[in-house]
A and B are shown apart, each in its own frame.
Chain A
Amino acid sequence: MANVKLINVSKRWAEVVGVKHLDLEIEDGEFLALLGPSGCGKSTALRIIAGLEEPSEGEVYIGDEMVNGLSPKDRDVAMVFQSYAIYPHMTVRGNMAFPLKLRKFDREEIDKRVEEAAEMLGITDLLDRKPKELSGGQRQRVALGRAIVRKPVLFLMDEPLSNLDAMLRTRMRAELKKLHELLGKTTIYVTHDQVEAMTMADRIVLLKGGEVQQIGMPMELYEHPGNIFVAGFIGSPSMNFLQGELRLDDGVLKFDTESFSWEPSGIGERKMKKLKEWADKKVTLGIRPENLTINREKRSNAIETEIYLVEPLGSELIVTLSVGGGRVIVRASPDLRVKEGQKAFVIVNPEEAHFFEGGGEAIL
């Protein structure tokens, strides 16, 4: 059993706040991502769970045991660091055996576990090398190996892939996910990369400024962002945001900006009713690049724009449009023939439109 529970956990230093009133429950075997920009408190939260940092207030439970005040070595957790943190003066074997030696395992068992883990990670050939002879990806594997041999109740990973190049990161991402499925151990994974969080995690906790913005399954956060920060953070390219005002015009609701007016029709009774409550108020319309369609000809309820930049990615086209003074990014099919400077008419998929009130909270 290794569920993890954080109850009202805060961490403050003299002037800086690391984490504010964090409540979190992580189930046994779950892969949870702590996601957020740098300085959001995700690493602090992880370090509190590891015991490297004592919370200023609140309680931390691992399993059924309250671990406040318990030193890291007594918590039965393993941690993987962004900098790999493998010991430069020991061989790969020495690194992997280190936690077992400290726990007074006998030689045979140590050898067995190290070989097993090395095989699982494909680093058997490297066992007798020193860390400086290894590439970044290999070092990362050694760090993982050192965590695995322990068979801890809980894995903590602090941006383990951030120092790898893009190709390797994608590959290791898949391997880590497989590894988690294989071991079935509770894993808490800190990252600033929403793609990592989306692809690997069972649930994501999105943090900003030490506070939880939203907790949910990846698709929940993607489809129903609770506020403008979540909406902008999840997804790439980011969601487009347009400032405007909702207006009722003869019973027809319109989203007005300085340069265009758009009718959010076809979003269903219930949503429409709720939106109407915000008539005559400033709101932000959020729409993802994939929910916009570019047309060369004028259509009804289309927004008139000008093509600003076209970036072909092979499988798709990223088109940046000028709307009024702002820019909107559209993900388009690669067969779309458009040139910079042309006029374009954009259709918004109303069902995928998000509205946020002035404070940034989602309206629908």
Chain B
Amino acid sequence: MDIEKDKKNGYEKRSKILGWMQKIDPWSVGFYAFIALVLIICIFPFMWTFLVSLTPYSELVEFHWLPSWATSEWYKLVLFDNPFLLYIGNSFLVAFTTTLFCIFLGSLASYALSRLKFKGKAAVLIVVLLIVMFPQITIVGPLADILTGLNLINTYLALILPYTMLCLPLTIWILTTFFNSIPKDLENAARVDGCTRMGALTKIIFPLAAPGIVTTGILVFIFAWNEFMFANTFITEPELYTITVGIANFGGRYTTAWGELAGAAIIVTVPLIILVLIFQRKIVQGLTAGGVKG
């Protein structure tokens, strides 16, 4: 009996492998090869930085695919010999507040744009988009003037306000599409059921728009976290440096601290990766929303 069974199993296994081999077609091989190529191109800089961050000083200036031994030197230097944690704290504060501002203002604006009938709605959306079309460098000067006038240079607000301004268009566009995809009847039902307009918004629409809100929130957070030019211009007090400016100021006047830079870059990226991984499912939902009616 058992032998028979084994035979049968063996036969099934063989036929499975044969089936597999038959299923491999050149198109799908090419397809996956292409995806692999794209992935490598995308990931390479990050991997390279990661490798550099582990490379000991003696091997830094020559070319090596892999360091002969890994060092944690750079990480120690970054974390303990620099006010790195302070910078991270600053960055977090700025990015987090920007995200809150954007989500709050953006969702209210988007809701209005999505639900209310008024003249020039399309025009408003276009104008909103115009804001992000100016190269950032062209608005640094005017912004600096405004911020100086408002006495905001060297405060967190000097970053939070411009970031919010720059991120709101994206927020509004994504959330407007999102709100559009939520059937109006749900809101009508909520209002007949006993909600005010605001109640319908917070009890029904926002929970349903959560994927969109999380997605935009993360995009805004990443933008604010990574921004360098404004941070480098509007903040001159080292205590208020965000992480990007902090990293740029590593090392002395005559040397570039490659190791520290690499280490810091890795440490700074990790929170973002964790953030994205946590909310991955929501983000996918958020980016694909509107395609299929729930």
Residues on A lying within 8 angstroms of B by beta carbon are 13, 47, 50-52, 71-73, 75, 77-79, 81-83, 85-89, 98-99, 102-103, 132, 146, 150, 156
Contacts and interface: CB of A to CB of B under 8 A. Distances in A.
B191 A73 contact: yes
B186 interface: yes
B208 A81 contact: no
Given A71-B196, A99-B194, A146-B193, A85 B294 contact: no
A79 B194 contact: no
A81 B185 contact: yes
A309 B274 CA distance: 70
Interface string B42-83: 000000000000000000000000000000000000000000
Given A87-B204, A88-B208, A89-B207, A50 B192 contact: yes
A72 B186 contact: no
Given A73-B191, A88-B208, A132-B294, A83 B196 contact: no
A81 B189 contact: yes
A73 B193 contact: yes
B193 A99 contact: yes
B192 A78 contact: yes
A98 B199 CA distance: 12
Interface residues of B, number: 18
B265 interface: no
Contact of A88 (B192, B195, B199, B294): B294
B188 A52 contact: yes
B183 interface: yes
A73 B192 contact: yes
A73 B208 contact: no
15 contacts: A51-B191, A52-B191, A73-B193, A73-B195, A77-B192, A78-B193, A81-B185, A82-B185, A83-B185, A89-B207, A98-B190, A102-B194, A103-B194, A150-B193, A156-B192
Given A83-B183, A85-B183, A85-B186, A98 B193 contact: yes
Contacts of A50: 188, 192
Given A87-B208, A156-B192, 19 more contacts: A50-B188, A71-B191, A71-B196, A73-B194, A73-B195, A77-B192, A79-B188, A79-B189, A81-B189, A82-B185, A85-B186, A85-B188, A86-B189, A87-B186, A87-B204, A98-B190, A102-B195, A102-B199, A146-B189
A310 B194 CA distance: 54
Interface in B162-186: 183, 185-186
Nearest to B186: A85
A150 B193 CA distance: 8
Contacts of B194: 73, 99, 102-103
B92 to A, nearest CB: 30
A209 to B, nearest CB: 21
A316 B183 CA distance: 42
B193 A81 contact: no
B192 A79 contact: yes
A95 to B, nearest CB: 9
A309 B191 CA distance: 51
Interface string B188-226: 111111111001000010011000000000000000000
B183 A72 contact: no
